[in-house]
A = this chain, B = another copy of it.
Amino acid sequence: MKKIGIIGGIGWPSTIEYYRLICEASQIYHSGKNFTGPTPMPEMVIESLNMNFTINNRGTTESGSWAVWDEYFNHAIKRLENNGAELIVIASVTPHGRLNEISKGVNAPVLSIYDALGDYCAHAGIKKLLVLGTMPTMSSPAFYTNLAPFGVDVQYPHDEKQKSVVVDIIGRLYQNKREGAGESIDQAVRASISASDLENSAVCLGCTELPLAFPDFPGEASFRVNGITYINSAVVHASYAFRACTHSR
């Protein structure tokens, strides 16, 4: 298995989620296979960053304003590569908005969450995806442009009010306040997709907190609640990374 590099700390609970999902994927992959001793695991190296620094150094639309932020991530990704990582994942959706800038000069493949989700949707026959995430995620064209090559039509909640509702839910989940979160997400989805479109659409939980609203489906890439198909982007991304690490060199 190839060595996996992980950019973590953005935030730390999602880092645990990715690491756990990859280890569990290795247990499933090896079950029934022949080996001596404990289940083989891919080697991993994790650079856990300080989210306080990244949030306080976010740029604006002004040219050059992201320089410090970009360099912080870029240096961390390079350290992963220097430490032998043969493939790299960022255990957070939001930094993917600046994937090109932060992976400059890196030779190891950085497996983006867009490719992971695009691949998943293409295999599952999903053509329409409503993406719920943080405000930077829902304000950036990155999801549209990167999922289009997979034949996936991406949309975000229609108006600023609905986007704010999603951001509020994430804020509450981040403090582990789960009561009513599933119902609030259900309402936000129905305010954004017509009933007739619901059947051929899926909803991407594009922020690591959001799946906490559905505690009955831990570790499942996709699940249905009340007629809505949800996709857990962390599970899809971590599984994609594990599969890549088992490909022959």
Contact = CB atoms under 8 A, between A and B. Distances in A.
A32 interface: no
Nearest to A30: B52
Interface of A: 8-9, 11-12, 15-16, 19-20, 23, 35-53, 55-56, 79, 82-84
Nearest to A47: B45
A213 B56 CA distance: 41
A48 B15 CA distance: 13
B40 A9 contact: no
Chain A interface main SS type: mixed
Nearest to A19: B16
A65 B36 CA distance: 19
A46 B48 contact: yes
A9 B44 contact: yes
Contacts of A48: 19, 41, 43-46
Given A79-B83, A83-B47, A37 B20 contact: no
The 5 closest A-B pairs by CB, nearest first: A44-B48, A40-B52, A46-B46, A37-B55, A12-B23
B50 A41 contact: yes
Given A16-B19, A23-B12, A83-B83, A42 B50 contact: yes
B41 A51 contact: yes
B43 A45 contact: no
A51 B37 CA distance: 8
Given A15-B19, A16-B20, A79-B84, A41 B47 contact: no
A52 B38 contact: yes
A45 B44 contact: no
